[in-house]
Amino acid sequence: MPPTPPAPMSSALRKLSNWSLRPNPTPTRKGRPHRGRPFFSPRSERRPRMYAAPLTELEAVNDMLAVIGQAPVNAFTANNSDQNIARQELAKVVREVCAYGFKFNTDEGHTLYPEIDGTVSIPSGALSVDPMDPRQDLTPRQHPDNGMCLWDAAHLSWTIEAPVVCRVRWSLTYDALPELARGYAVIRAGRKLQARLVGSPELDRFAAEDEQRAWLALQREQAATADINVFRASNEIAAKIVRGRVADRRFTK
């Protein structure tokens, strides 16, 4: 026997059920209900995202001390020899990373202007200064009086009349590095510290694997941020594409 269908609802009961499913109306100034957005909006329930802070130099040194089995420290002190050695190794690796040259510490088209006497001084904190104009045969050299300056090898002179557009690699501190560069510097510096103070082949093998993974991650980040293209990275390929013309047209006549 088929089931009996439910009895139809009355119009008043139907209105009451539909009204109960609606959100609570927000009263207006005149006491009339507002048919718009409910009082408790989903936007008000959003919470701010919690971001992790980058690795500090103190945390990096503590990670290096943990590699050699030493207890972490709360602050840098001058009488802790292991801590000082760890900071020295970390500073060396940071300088190596900056000397390699990445997008975060390289400026393309940095202009250096001559002084009154015609010398072009190397800015403080620059690890490498490479003039981008192929017609200028300039190289950094120690000036007798003004420190590091550009030397005109073509004319054997310190006097340079025109401004020089260079590619400059800057030496950054550990706190100025991006997160992936910090991670690689900590792993490599910890490996060098372990080899210097402990000398365990097993620990060195594990650290070498971690260092390789960190280096690959840093290279992927470099390729993504620098927009490396095989046709633009090589001057020979770029010259062939433009049919023998100079790829960088900023210095062509």
List, for residues 199-228, the tens digit of each pLDDT value.
888 889 989 999 999 999 999 999 888 766
pLDDT in tens, 131-155: 998 888 999 999 998 899 999 998 9
Give helix 81-100 / helix 57-67 axis angle, nearest 10°.
Answer: 110
Distance (Å, rounded) from C-alpha 100 to C-alpha 3? Answer: 82
SS3 131: strand
CB-based contact 198:158 (threshold 8 Å)? no
pLDDT in tens, 18-59: 545 555 555 555 555 555 555 555 554 566 777 888 889 999
Distance (Å, rounded) from C-alpha 212 to C-alpha 178? Answer: 18
Residue with tokens 């009082």: 39
Distance (Å, rounded) from C-alpha 156 to C-alpha 137? Answer: 10
* CA–centroid distance for 216 within its chain: 15
More confident residue, 245 or 125: 125
pLDDT at 54: 86
pLDDT at 195: 92
Distance (Å, rounded) from C-alpha 146 to C-alpha 121? Answer: 7
More confident residue, 78 or 19: 78
Distance (Å, rounded) from C-alpha 31 to C-alpha 34? Answer: 9
SS3 148: strand
Residues with Cβ within 8 Å of residue 128, at least 6 apart in sequence: 99, 101, 167, 168, 169
CB-based contact 189:64 (threshold 8 Å)? yes
Query: Which residues share a beta bridge with 166?
Result: 110, 131
pLDDT at 188: 96
Look at phi and psi of residue 64 and say left if phi exceeds 0, alpha if psi is from -120 to 50, else beta. alpha
More confident residue, 226 or 163: 163
